[in-house]
Amino acid sequence: MSYYAALKQATRHAYLQAICDKILVDEAAHVRYEAAVIRCIRRDSTPFKRNLIYGLHRLLFARTVLIVWHQHHRVLRRGGFSRRAFWHRCWRDLNAAGL
């Protein structure tokens, strides 16, 4: 979601900003749904499996954040994110989703 917030800030085009707003609303709903599904999967697992899923999910998330930065750092920088700020924002969003 941070990407679309940055893209909105990086452009002066009202139409693109409106598209970003729509995507942000849609993505928020998607994240809530996916977080609920992941919590159900974790809840119904053994403690070992729950911890394994948790760790692997966070590892996958970290790698994804790095790839997004690598591929889109120009837009993210124009939108006001440093690499560190983007990293922290992504993790804050993940934790806010209860994951």
Which residue segment(s) compose the domain that 50 sits in?
2-96
21-45 tens-digit pLDDT: 999 999 989 989 999 998 888 888 8
Task: Quickly count: other Cβ atoms within 10 Å of residue 16's Cβ.
Answer: 13
Q: At 71, is the secondary structure helix, strand, or coil?
A: helix
pTM, two decimals, is 0.83
Give the tens place of pLDDT for each residue, 69-84. 999 999 999 999 999 9
**Residue that is written with structure tokens 């990293």 in the block:** 87
Residues in contact with 45: Cβ distance below 8 Å, sequence separation at least 6, in sequence order: 53
If one counts the domains in the chain, the total is: 1
Strand, helix or coil for residue 44: coil
